[in-house]
């Protein structure tokens, strides 16, 4: 099967798929507890943290909900320049939080001074933003934003969605003084969907202990109590944890810097080709994602016809998302993909365009 170029779920290596078919173990068995501990421990490298990593049977959206329920009594800010940050705000409101929204142009990055002005003197318990917007192909400057929040509102927890960047772009949670980072399995980690990971520092965990009505399934205090025994309150996604354990070995063998460089090379190739062939790039220069490129359909390509053409070659790209659904399309270049794969896709684009 040819590679897919969608921003998740992505292709999964055959050996990772096979890892899920290992015989099941009782999740309270010592043999499984060892695997659970090992997988979570190795994954800390992706977050750039010495703090705990919790493994959850949920998508990243589940951790949006967990974050607002665990870290916020009432008042928070969500900074949004794309569909998935806006979703995080919707989740907060649906959970009864007094959640303000810093809602800016989707084609603009969140700037540190802009966020600092929004939080100063407001007493927000937490400030949330998305590192890499899957909808727009824009990567926000997480380190600079976190520094600005910490200076303007030292007591606010800093919450970051790294669903489409973790394992494809640098994250230094400890060095950047971020309190909570979430991701999910089906994007740069190149695992099947259904597993989410949350890195939580001590400051955030202590705050969670003071918040009422955290729920049950996503109660980080309960999850932490069980994590310390290398287990979970409820049955975990055993097959996915087998897969994560093996995939972390593969990622660390490649080397994180090598992996990040591979993703940057694919992004640069895609962007350069797009500009050369008359496509606009939705995200501004300097803030473009390393893992997904959102293109404006400036030449007026017949997108259904293009997608049908690519399906004949057993591959896929993604349409636009949210309010830019009809004017953009997306090329995912993450996970197991290589520069050679991207070049093959772009050659197929040229073949299609040459037929018109």
Nearest by Cα to 6 from 263, 319, 303: 319
Distance between alpha carbon 353 and the CA centroid of its chain, in Å? Answer: 32
Question: What's the pLDDT at 2?
Answer: 83
CB distance 318 to 215 below 8 Å: no
Per DSSP, the chain holds a count of helices (H) and strands (E) of 12, 13
Tokens of 241: 């944890």
Sign of CA pseudo-dihedral 278, 164, 117, 64 = positive
- Percentage of the chain beyond pLDDT 90 is 99
In whole angstroms, give the CA distance from residue 20 to residue 237.
10
φ, ψ for residue 11, nearest 5 deg? -65, 145
* Domains, the chain: 14-252 (3.40.640.10), 256-354 (3.90.1150.10)
Question: pLDDT, tens digit, for every residue of 260-319?
Answer: 999 999 999 999 999 999 999 999 999 999 999 999 999 999 999 999 999 999 999 999
Q: How many CB atoms lie within 10 A of CB 149?
A: 27
Token couple for 36? 């659970």
Radius of gyration of the chain (CA): 20
Q: Which residues pair with 128 in a beta bridge?
A: 78, 159
Res. 61: pLDDT tops 90: yes
3 state SS of 265: helix
- Residue 174 has phi, psi (to 5 degrees) of -70, -50
Note the Cα 324 to chain centre separation in Å.
Answer: 20
Q: Each residue of 122-145: pLDDT tens digit?
A: 999 999 999 999 999 999 999 999
């Amino acid at each position: 099967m040819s590679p897919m170029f969608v921003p998740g779920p992505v292709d999964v290596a055959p050996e990772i798929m096979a890892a899920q078919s290992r015989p099941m173990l009782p999740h309270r068995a010592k043999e499984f507890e060892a695997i659970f501990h090992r997988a979570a421990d190795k994954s800390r490298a992706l977050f750039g943290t010495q703090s705990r990593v919790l493994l959850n049977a949920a998508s990243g959206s589940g951790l949006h909900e967990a974050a607002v329920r665990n870290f916020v009594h009432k008042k928070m800010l969500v900074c949004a320049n794309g569909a998935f940050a806006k979703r995080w705000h919707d989740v907060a409101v649906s959970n009864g939080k007094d959640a303000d929204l810093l809602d800016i142009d989707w084609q603009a990055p969140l700037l540190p001074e802009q966020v600092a002005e929004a939080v100063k003197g407001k007493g927000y318990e937490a400030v949330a933003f998305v590192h890499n917007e899957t909808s727009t192909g824009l990567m926000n400057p997480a380190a600079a934003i976190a520094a600005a929040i910490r200076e303007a509102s030292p007591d606010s927890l800093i919450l970051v969605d790294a669903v489409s960047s973790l394992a494809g772009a640098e994250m230094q949670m400890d060095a950047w003084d971020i309190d909570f980072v979430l991701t999910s399995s089906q994007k740069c980690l190149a695992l099947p969907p259904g597993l989410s990971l949350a890195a939580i520092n001590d400051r955030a965990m202590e705050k969670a202990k003071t918040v009422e009505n955290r729920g049950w399934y996503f109660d980080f205090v309960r999850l932490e109590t069980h994590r310390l025994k290398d287990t979970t309150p409820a049955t975990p996604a055993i097959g996915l944890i087998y897969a994560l354990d093996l995939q972390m070995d593969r990622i660390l063998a490649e080397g994180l810097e090598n992996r990040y460089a591979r993703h940057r090379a694919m992004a640069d190739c895609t962007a350069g080709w797009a500009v050369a062939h008359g496509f606009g790039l939705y995200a501004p220069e300097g803030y473009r994602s390393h893992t997904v490129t959102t293109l404006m359909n400036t030449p007026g390509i017949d997108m259904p016809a293009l997608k049908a053409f690519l399906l004949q070659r057993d591959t896929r790209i993604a349409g636009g998302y949210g309010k830019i659904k009809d004017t953009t399309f997306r090329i995912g270049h993450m996970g197991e993909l290589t520069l050679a794969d991207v070049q093959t896709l772009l050659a197929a684009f040229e073949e299609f365009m040459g037929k018109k």
